[in-house]
């Protein structure tokens, strides 16, 4: 057990630790981020480890990576409990919990092919309102079509 926890807490020098990912979702998180990207972004993936808060959780540690705001929002959509820890020189310098925005713009498409946001993206950028966090439900601001976690995952996977 001691060895086990030593392995899990080994520190990265500079980069990002995405903690408190709902167990089983780490692979989705790394796919969204387009990881692995090679030796510049050495990474560790820890799945189904115990968490006092969550029972079980996943953790992704990536060296040399800083997430964009869009990437953080994408993670929030599939791992709403996740915390993002920015590490510099082996120390956590910033820690924040992801938050699904009330309005989600431009990172996913509407599932309705006839929606104006799919017909004329110049004037109607995809825009959704958060209806429910758990399970996640988003509503298109134009046609009111609902989008669910499976739709979101499918789109994120297609785009990579």
Helices then strands (H, E): number in the chain?
A: 5, 9
Nearest approach, Cβ of 159 to Zn ion (angstroms)? 18
**Closest CB to Zn ion among 95 and 121?**
121
Interaction between residue 143 and Zn ion (CB under 5 A): yes
Task: Report the Cα 57 to chain-centroid distance in Å.
Answer: 14
81 DSSP assignment: T
The helix (run of H) or strand (run of E) holding residue 5 is helix 2-9
Name the burial class of residue 72, with classes exposed (0-12), middle (13-18) and buried (19+) by CB atoms within 10 angstroms of its CB: middle
Distance CA 61, CA 21 (A): 12
Out of 74, 140, 152, 156, point to the residue binding Zn ion (CB under 5 A).
Answer: 140
**Closest CB to Zn ion among 84 and 156?**
156
Instruction: Tell which positions 7-46 bind Zn ion, by CB under 5 A.
Output: none
Q: Compute how many residues bind Zn ion; rule: CB under 5 A.
A: 7
- Tell me, residue by residue from 67 to 106, as one string, x for binding to Zn ion by CB under 5 A and - for no binding: ----------------------------------------
Interaction between residue 115 and Zn ion (CB under 5 A): yes
The helix (run of H) or strand (run of E) holding residue 30 is helix 26-32
Note the residues at the interface with Zn ion (CB under 5 A).
Answer: 110, 112, 115, 140, 142-143, 145
């Amino acid at each position: 057990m001691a060895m086990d926890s030593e392995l899990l807490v080994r520190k990265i020098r500079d980069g990002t630790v995405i903690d408190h990912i709902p167990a089983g979702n780490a692979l989705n998180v790394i796919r969204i981020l387009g990881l692995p990207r090679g030796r510049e972004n050495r990474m560790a993936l820890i799945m189904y480890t115990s968490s006092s808060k969550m029972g079980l959780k996943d953790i992704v540690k990536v060296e040399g990576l800083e997430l964009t705001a869009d990437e953080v929002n994408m993670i929030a959509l599939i791992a709403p409990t996740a915390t993002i820890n920015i590490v510099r020189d082996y120390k956590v310098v910033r820690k924040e919990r992801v938050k699904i925005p009330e309005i989600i713009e431009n990172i996913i498409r509407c599932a309705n092919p006839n929606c104006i946001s799919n017909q004329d993206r110049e004037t109607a950028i995809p825009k959704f309102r958060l209806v429910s966090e758990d399970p996640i439900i988003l509503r298109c601001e134009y046609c009111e079509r609902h989008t669910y976690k499976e739709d979101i995952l499918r789109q994120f996977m297609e785009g990579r």
